[in-house]
Structure 1
Amino acid sequence: MSQDEVDEVAAELYALPPTAFTAARNARAAAVGGDVGSRIKALRKPTVSAWTVDLLAREGDLGEALDLAAALREAQDDLDAAELARLSGQRRQLVAALTAQAVSLAEAAGVTVSAAARDDVHKTLNAAVLDAAAAAAVRTARMVRPLEATGFGTVDAAGLADVVGGSLPGVEVDPPRDDLAQRRARRAAEKAAREADRAANDAARDEAKLAERRDRARHKLDHVRERLDDLRRDIARLEADEAAAAATLTELEDRLGAAASTARAAAARAEDARRSLTELS
């Protein structure tokens, strides 16, 4: 029996409720016998929390969580704080939802999950999202004890052997460098395109605002010029009226002067006539 076949037996045993594991394992080991039987007999009974995670791995949907795990590691590697904060919020929501789903599956199977076991389920799923090695262990659906991670890359792939019944598949912790470089280049190009679109939109808005201000200024200039033309015509008329009034005033002053001279001469003659009359009397 190869290691793959031992892993198949382990997967069958870990699909059983924890209370039925030991008897089924011993029976299977006795039936096989020899070195392989010893390897089967060495499989450890899973804790309730580990079994619950195994159940979720078999019957739930961890694809979204594991996709998010890769995105989180990439954001951490790129030191993209904004993207990391956004994905971390998604991680918390997703891990909480997956924990609730796992507990619901376990209780539907007749296994009670205590508050402490539920907390271990949550920690294990969180570790799977944060760490590629932990995610590989969870994918096996052969977990025997829970995991916990305190940050990115804190679960050592070599130290996972004692948390998985059977063999642990190889783990590629980081994406291939060429693939990572391509994703970085694509994100950089997408960011540059977004910034270029934003700059083009800002420039178009500025152009539209300036065009509107120019049209208002042109309208105002046309209005002022019309008023100036009207005022110039009014000034020309007023200047003509001024010249005519000045000429009339000059003429009247000249005639007034002549009339005053005539009046004085007439008054003098009248005075002479009165004196002559007086003398004759």
Structure 2
Amino acid sequence: MESQETTQYNREYKDRLFKYIFGKDTEDSKKWRLQLYNALNGTNITDPDALKINTIENVIYISMHNDISFLVDTEINLYEEQSSWNPNMPLRGFLYFSILYQLYLKDNNLSILSRHKVMIPRPRFFVFYHGKKTDPDTWKLKLSDSFLGNQKEHGDFEWTATIINLRPDENVPLNKNCTPLYHYVKFVSMVSSNMDAGMDKNKAIEEAVDEAIKEKLLDNFFKINKAEVIGMCLTEFDEELAKRTWRNDGYIDGRSEKAKEAAINLLKMNILSPEQIAQAAGLSLEEVLELQKSILVKA
């Protein structure tokens, strides 16, 4: 008789699967990250260690090591993946880069009070979005579209986010040039197809992982990291479900009290990390941590 028990997976993985694949310090991750970087930038760098990796929350921050010829610190690349549409990505990128530039100034002993012009790396912000078939392969969002007042008089300031549509089509140029990205997108598409067919989330994810192992996607990555992949996917699913629920109930509409109420409920459920709750509810991490403290005090 087949057991009715459901395998339990650790959902407390803070990494998203995208960052786990492309943003780790393993040899495979370095190799895949380099392929993605070269495909996006039209470069042909061959040394995986040429890329200096750092992270902010769930984004991947890439610059160059200091001994790589003229490419020294000329660019900062920031990669973020979004499962659901977010029109505020240019603003998010602007805030992210303000932190990165402060770190850059500190690490290089530079001061904006200097009488000499301070030179900084050029920013490149890519957002990997699981879009629709009707969406273009790539397009740009402008921060100026969010400025209040007359859009024709937004001034000279601009900040952009380059949106990459992650479609499971091997003929998409980026997929052709970056097999690891194509394998990742194909796996995510498998999960979505399984759920569309009526499977519950656990079964949909487990079967997608088994199929990825069978098709040898990302070499042996899915076989070696099966439990971690399933745990991360379940966590991401719960986060996206929470976002959709809050939107439908009117929580994420600028009403702070409703957002806090939703955050408190999810903290009590112990499904997501404080960082994930903050991102989903539109609250600061500090606000969520304060709410968490208040729950512990009452308990």
TM-score by length of 1: 0.23
Q: Which has the larger radius of gyration?
A: 1
The structure in which a higher percent of residues are helix is 1
